[in-house]
Structure 1
Amino acid sequence: MESWQVVLVAAGAVLAVATLAVAAVLLVRLVRTYLLLRGADVPVSARTAFWGALLYTVFPVDLLPDPVYLDDVGLLLLALHHLSGVARRYGRAPGEAQAAPPRIPNTPEARRRR
């Protein structure tokens, strides 16, 4: 193999690893955002923005040709940024799951207090 071919293969490998790293970060952010949107007090518009951006990302029809994923990733990142602002507005920090409701003990004393 000639030296320019080695450089080309190495550059392709670096690009592939960088793409996988960005995809992994996006996947983690998607899961965290989905967990934030599970609350009942989150508006329907925020849920619609999340699912709309996700559907656009996987939908085969794009504004730009498929080898260029800038529109897909850009729209998804814009929606995630918007939804993190919505989460802050509703008292949830991005990256933390919704807390479980407090457990009420089922003892005779607790039943009398209810």
Structure 2
Amino acid sequence: MSRQSWVLVVVAGILALATLVGAVVLAVRVVRTRRLLSGLGAGGKVAFYGALIYTIFPVDILPDPIYLDDMGVLAGALIYLTRLVHKRRAAAGRLPGQPDGPPTSDRTRSVR
């Protein structure tokens, strides 16, 4: 092989590795976001399992060394699940950054 061919192979390998790492990072974030939801609705379950199944199965829009489509599906699922978390927490009266415990208020404390 010529020098240019080796450079192209190395660059393609680096890009494939970078997209693989990105897809794995997004998959981990999707799994962590799912853990935040105590009871997933049907839409949340479809988004979660659909994104993971699409990422794992070898049948894709783009061939598997190119994980850009997998990353897009995982990012879309992550955005949807994150919005679902925010909606559920807002309905429960908690802000998104607060822990899952009962909400506390300054009005419930006695002031001397």
Q: TM-score scaled by structure 1? A: 0.59
- Residue correspondence of structure 1 range 17-56 to structure 2 within 5 A: 17-37=17-37, 39-40=38-39, 42-56=40-54
Displacement of 1:60 after TM fit? Answer: 4.2
Compute the RMSD of aligned alpha carbons. Answer: 3.2
* Cα gap change, 1:57 to 1:14, in 2 (>3 Å): closer
Task: Name the structure 2 match of 1:104.
Answer: none
List runs of 5+ in structure 2 lacking aligned partners.
90-94, 103-112
What is the aligned counterpart of 2:63 among 44, 62, 66? Answer: 66
* Secondary structure in structure 2 of the residue aligned to 1:66: coil
* Secondary structure in structure 1 of the residue aligned to 2:82: helix
CA distance in 1, matches of 2:13, 2:59: 28
Displacement of 1:51 after TM fit? Answer: 1.3
List runs of 5+ in structure 1 lacking aligned partners.
102-114
Displacement of 1:78 after TM fit? Answer: 1.2
CA distance in 2, matches of 1:27, 1:71: 13
Provide the identity percentage. Answer: 42
> Which digits, 9 at most, give the CA deviation of each residue in 1:30-68, with x for residues without a partner?
22122123x13x433212321122223323444x25345
